[in-house]
Chains A and B, each alone.
Chain A
């Protein structure tokens, strides 16, 4: 639906503070709450649209589809349901785009597809993205929203961590910039591979970022963790991020930092 087709009196409830917001202005604010600043998760294509110049996105590798290497119970059903819900073949979208005129290789994961989890297709798409960025010598940018490696593909998912990390190593060696943008949530197997290897690491406010889930740590250690544990602000305070950038400023921040590295 186009923005001007939305009725003026349609309201949306903020997931963060529960405030009722005028849908039209909420959408104009990139799904960020004007009251509490809560950043709602974005589907991969919305994320890409938000970051790149109008109409500049050209998708790569859209044909790659997952298989069921382990014959894992229930995987096929879950995957098909996710495909129908998101109209994606898997949880990650990659392609070429322009950001304020500069060509970039851009990838985003979609949390609505099985928690944005990284299986073989996700890993392969990110690797091809990074390899193509290297080949064309254009900066690579990934925006993650993921719960980590996809359990249902077992070791194949674990291997994607090594595969994508190795691809980042090649970009670094060739001095082609790679920026990792962490949106809510960015955790576990993805956070413990390419997403933590950006030349720059940028997070959205309030994003959950970490390796082991807070609940698991609490249960294992029999402790109570502070409420802001593993928030972007917590990670910033512990030196794990370069900056926290609100969604509305993300595109210009990317353009500016790439300019400072390359021009």
Chain B
């Protein structure tokens, strides 16, 4: 049972179990234990504040990978009054790691794409842990182009440890599929809102993350490389992932500081999985606000702004050619 919870949640789970036990006891023995229960609830709240207000980057990675973390279909189910999933890339197959379809959100018809992870072992394998194959990315591309033809905005839920890492993905052009998605998204004449809900890792993430507004849930992460892979390269030791998670600056707070995202969507205390309803309320408001603002822009301006949004990202020393950079100053 405990394995479904993270080590950092352990104190909470213990208190929660005590509360359950007392509640059962109260019913069984017909006793009034409400004082005791209230005290434990207070302790639980205090413990939650304590644990979740200051998670380390590595703890955020754990939260983003939480086995109970809500996935795209959970959000779609809660946020949309209608949902029709569309399948297949019309070329080779249907990749279950990606969901794509048409939905109605707050009365607005939208197209939705996203990574989908599985809940149990069988589904996890079927969905390849949310790692997209070329077929999945091409399905997403097809649905986005459909959305553009019918002037539907696109919502993209990103939650992936990376693109599929299989020989078949290489054979069928995973590089090209990732690249093509970015190209298509950069020119799509309808609003695109990105939500990084869990893991936003490397090429698999950016393949679904070129948009007008990029938001991250409070305890998600966004990174050019998985912390474990980075540790393997940097320290030749994958167990040093904690250090590389720190070094890579992968939290939503870091991403906001670097202007890589526009918004952090706060999670309910204890994380999105502890209160999906509350999470969807907050997320729904953020999405609605973003879509309303973006829908007011004419398509060409939308595309132009999106280009400039990514165009200005980067950390460079840019001295005009006729002014020598300080390190080139002779004689010092």
Cβ of B187 < 8 Å from any Cβ of A? yes
On whether the beta carbons of B258 and A69 are closer than 8 Å, the reply is: yes
Alpha-carbon gap, A153 to B170, bound state (A): 26
Residue of A with least CB distance to B233? A151
Contact of B224 among A124, A149, A166 (CB under 8 A): A149
Contacts of B248 in A (CB 8 A): 70, 72, 151, 154
- A217 in contact with B182 given A66-B316, A192-B175 (CB within 8 Å): no
On whether the beta carbons of B247 and A70 are closer than 8 Å, the reply is: yes
Cβ of A42 < 8 Å from any Cβ of B? no
Residue of A with least CB distance to B254? A155
Contact of A159 among B310, B321, B327 (CB under 8 A): B310
Cβ of A81 < 8 Å from any Cβ of B? no
Alpha-carbon gap, A73 to B186, bound state (A): 33
Cβ of B174 < 8 Å from any Cβ of A? yes
On whether the beta carbons of A193 and B182 are closer than 8 Å, the reply is: yes
Stretch from A23-31, A46-54, A167-175, A254-262 contacting the other chain: A167-175
Contact of A238 among B172, B205, B225, B320 (CB under 8 A): B172
Alpha-carbon gap, A148 to B260, bound state (A): 20
Stretch from A104-112, A208-216, A244-252 contacting the other chain: A208-216
On whether the beta carbons of A158 and B174 are closer than 8 Å, the reply is: no
Cβ of A127 < 8 Å from any Cβ of B? yes
Alpha-carbon gap, A238 to B249, bound state (A): 37
On whether the beta carbons of A221 and B175 are closer than 8 Å, the reply is: no
The 6 tightest CB contacts between A and B, nearest first, are A120-B314, A166-B186, A69-B315, A165-B182, A192-B178, A196-B179
Contacts of B111 in A (CB 8 A): none
- Rounded to whole Å, the gap between the CB of A198 and the closest CB of chain B is 10
On whether the beta carbons of B202 and A191 are closer than 8 Å, the reply is: no
Cβ of A85 < 8 Å from any Cβ of B? no
List residues of chain A with CB under 8 Å of any chain B CB: 62-70, 72-74, 119-121, 123-124, 127, 149, 151, 153-163, 165-166, 168-170, 172-173, 188-189, 191-197, 209-212, 216-217, 220-221, 223, 225, 229-230, 238-240
Residues of B within 8 Å of A, CB-based: how many?
58
- Count A-B contacts at CB 8 Å: 190
Contact of A161 among B165, B182, B225, B311 (CB under 8 A): B182
List residues of chain B with CB under 8 Å of any chain A CB: 163, 165-167, 169-176, 178-180, 182-184, 186-187, 202-203, 205-207, 209-210, 222-225, 229-230, 233-234, 247-250, 254-255, 258, 260, 306-307, 310-311, 313-321, 325, 327
Contacts of B180 in A (CB 8 A): 196-197
- Rounded to whole Å, the gap between the CB of B122 and the closest CB of chain A is 18
On whether the beta carbons of B175 and A163 are closer than 8 Å, the reply is: no
Contacts of A197 in B (CB 8 A): 176, 179-180, 183
Contact of B171 among A120, A170, A221, A238 (CB under 8 A): A238
On whether the beta carbons of B202 and A217 are closer than 8 Å, the reply is: no
- A120 in contact with B316 given A156-B258, A196-B176, A240-B176 (CB within 8 Å): yes
- A192 in contact with B203 given A151-B234, A154-B250 (CB within 8 Å): yes
Q: Can you name 5 A-B pairs with beta carbons within 8 Å?
A: A65-B316, A72-B247, A151-B248, A212-B174, A221-B166
- A155 in contact with B223 given A166-B210, A173-B187 (CB within 8 Å): yes
